[in-house]
Structure 1
Amino acid sequence: MPPPNRAANGRLVFSDLQFPGAANPLFASSNADFEVDNALWAQPVFSDQQFHVHPDQLTEVPLPENGGVVDGGRTIIMHLRHDLRWSDGQPIVASDFLYWWHLNQDPNTGATISSGYDQIAGIDTPDRFTVILHMKHPFGPYLFYLPYAAPQHAWGKIQPIDLQNTASVYQAPQVTSGPYKLANVLNGQRYTLVPNTYYASTTFHGPFVSQLIYQSYGTIAALSKAARAQESDVTMGYMEYDLS
């Protein structure tokens, strides 16, 4: 892993046939959505390619061994970093995680994935940096269903039923939490992301690239041409024989 405080430089271009339709994990449904969302949105914890779980927004992964899981697995305690900030500089606090969970479970929101999160019976936020999940019963895959944070200060006046029709929430979110933030979007063609200078993580030291571009191509032929012309650094989800 590169050292902390390394300056971001260069750019990385991802190409795909799909264009991300929802740059928001509440509504993500395609691989293209998830690729962009992973850059725009931080998570409490994340899983690496070996399925080892590491803290991102939390100070540690909540486990029985460290007191993060108690009451026979019915209570999960999330301890937030104190330096978390949204891309607009506002603090990320415990109530933002509670807000996301309420949105996720509200049928008016139309969240793509609400199952799993529905195993949470309720959430307490005793202070700004502690989120306590009360589970309906011990739930083995709880680490994959820790709630995200949503910017209540930016979205709070929008009715849940209107979130999908609000571009600054759905297609082009203006307030995000991940290592990158949205610079601009050319609908149907390109997302351009730049570093979020407020991002803080327990595990990551980045971002390291000064510009991420997600470029969509309408056909395999166009995608192949871009890849062979080295206009794309990473061609998403396709093998060499797909591009021949």
Structure 2
Amino acid sequence: MIRRSWSIALVAPFLFTRFDTAARAAGSAHPIHRSHDVPAKIRCKTHVKPFGTVRFSDWQFPDTLNPVQSKLLVTSEIDAGILDGLFIYSDRGALTPVIAAFVPTGANGGVTDGGRTVTIHLRHGARWSDGSEITSRDLQFSLAVGKDPASGPYCKHTCDVIAHIDAPSRYVAVLRLRRPYAPILAYGLPVLWPYRWRNVWNGNPHKAANVLWNDTSFNFEGPDYPTNGPYQVAPGGFKDHSNIVLRPMRYYSTLTCGARLDTLVFTYFESKFDMITAAVKHKTDITQDYTLADAAALTKHTRALHVR
């Protein structure tokens, strides 16, 4: 039985901290490190048996779960459980490795050539939801997708600072920058995609870009889409506009040996008032997407809610 702290996340949208950091920290056998002491390989002889259910809520409902077709904050809240990136910012504002084995710096040899070369080491054994391993070729492919005109191009004024990516080994990607770019790890990386995805694309960046950015039916509202996080939308888990059910992704072993929770349920409420009322009545565990203007309404219930 999991211990629940009936909590409200009181944060302005621009200060939003991704839900997955807190969700997978509970009971994690592999704590998140901030430097090069992160183990490059997770050896999972067996996966943990997930248990418990956590409900999280918002007063918005996503227009799609495709991360590059939506600009809604609520979409990123849900996608945080199903999609991992190379790095993430912790709740203390520290850049933290996820799929990357450690944060490259000048001190550890990850940043060289006056800031024009950045070497990223990937964790061994991180996998996509079809079971294929995440490798440096995926990062090379993702840059080509992000630079393709069908994506916008997505990389315009961001990851187009990367001239090209070398892949000297399966788990090492060397970014060759056109010029030094200090926020390269925070704002200059492409969205990570698999080099192949079933019968949708096979190493063709233009086809992948067109499907991902322009095909509205490619909506990530089920388990048959390219994800790499600890959870994925369950079969039939996106049936109505009130609840979205996430279940463990069977191949996940990036930070832990399997997802820790058996079920994550996103519940939509029509207003902030309804959402706060539900939290007070313990009908939802975590609510979010507030601004400081909502502080007065929230602090009326400090005995029932934990506001942070």
TM-score range, shorter chain: 0.7 to 0.9
Q: Which residue of 2 aligns with 1:215?
A: 267
Q: Which residue of 1 aligns with 2:209?
A: 160
| Distance apart, 1:23 and its partner CA | 2.4
Q: Deviations over 1:65-90 (max 9, x none)?
A: 11111111101111112211112211
Letter of the 2:107 counterpart: E
Does the C-alpha gap of structure 1 residues 125 and 166 become closer, same or farther in structure 2, counting only changes over 3 Å?
Answer: farther
CA distance in 2, matches of 1:20, 1:224: 19
In the alignment, which of 61, 72, 82 is matched to residue 103 of structure 2? 61
Deviates more, 1:61-70 or 1:22-31: 22-31
CA distance in 2, matches of 1:122, 1:13: 42
Equivalenced residues, count: 243
User: How do 1:69-88 residues align onto structure 2 when only pairs under 5 Å count?
Assistant: 69-88=111-130
Q: Deviations over 1:129-178 (max 9, x none)?
A: 12111112111111213334212321425453333425345554623101
Does the C-alpha gap of structure 1 residues 141 and 126 become closer, same or farther in structure 2, counting only changes over 3 Å?
Answer: same
CA distance in 2, matches of 1:218, 1:9: 29
Secondary structure in 1 aligned to 2:289? coil
Q: Deviations over 1:10-68 (max 9, x none)?
A: 11111111112342433342211111121111111221122212211122111111111
Q: Which residue of 1 aligns with 2:226?
A: 175
CA distance in 2, matches of 1:84, 1:189: 32
Does the C-alpha gap of structure 1 residues 191 and 102 become closer, same or farther in structure 2, counting only changes over 3 Å?
Answer: farther
| Distance apart, 1:114 and its partner CA | 4.9
Paired residues of 1:26 and 1:111 also in contact (CA < 8 A): no
CA distance in 2, matches of 1:121, 1:64: 20
Letter of the 2:68 counterpart: L
Q: Which residue of 1 aligns with 2:142?
A: 100
CA distance in 1, matches of 2:63, 2:266: 12
CA distance in 2, matches of 1:27, 1:115: 19
Q: TM-score, normalised by structure 1?
A: 0.86
Q: TM-score, normalised by structure 2?
A: 0.69
In the alignment, which of 177, 181, 201 is matched to residue 135 of structure 1? 177
- Give the alignment's Cα RMSD to 1 decimal: 2.6
CA distance in 2, matches of 1:232, 1:161: 38
Letter of the 1:51 counterpart: G
Secondary structure in 2 aligned to 1:98? helix
Indicate yes or no: 2:92 matched with 1:50.
yes
Letter of the 1:180 counterpart: Y
Q: Deviations over 1:74-126 (max 9, x none)?
A: 01111112211112211112121222222222231247775422221222223
Paired residues of 2:28 and 2:256 also in contact (CA < 8 A): no
Paired residues of 2:145 and 2:208 also in contact (CA < 8 A): no
In the alignment, which of 117, 134, 146 is matched to residue 189 of structure 2? 146
Does the C-alpha gap of structure 1 residues 218 and 115 become closer, same or farther in structure 2, counting only changes over 3 Å?
Answer: farther
List gaps (5 residues or longer) in structure 1: none
Deviates more, 1:232-241 or 1:105-114: 105-114
Q: Percentage identity across aligned positions?
A: 29
Letter of the 2:192 counterpart: A
| Distance apart, 1:187 and its partner CA | 4.7
Secondary structure in 1 aligned to 2:141? helix
CA distance in 1, matches of 2:210, 2:28: 43
Letter of the 1:176 counterpart: T
Secondary structure in 2 aligned to 1:65? coil
The structure number with the bigger radius of gyration is 2
CA distance in 2, matches of 1:191, 1:114: 33
Paired residues of 1:8 and 1:209 also in contact (CA < 8 A): yes
List gaps (5 residues or longer) in structure 2: 1-24, 30-46, 301-308
CA distance in 2, matches of 1:170, 1:3: 26
Indicate yes or no: 2:240 matched with 1:194.
no
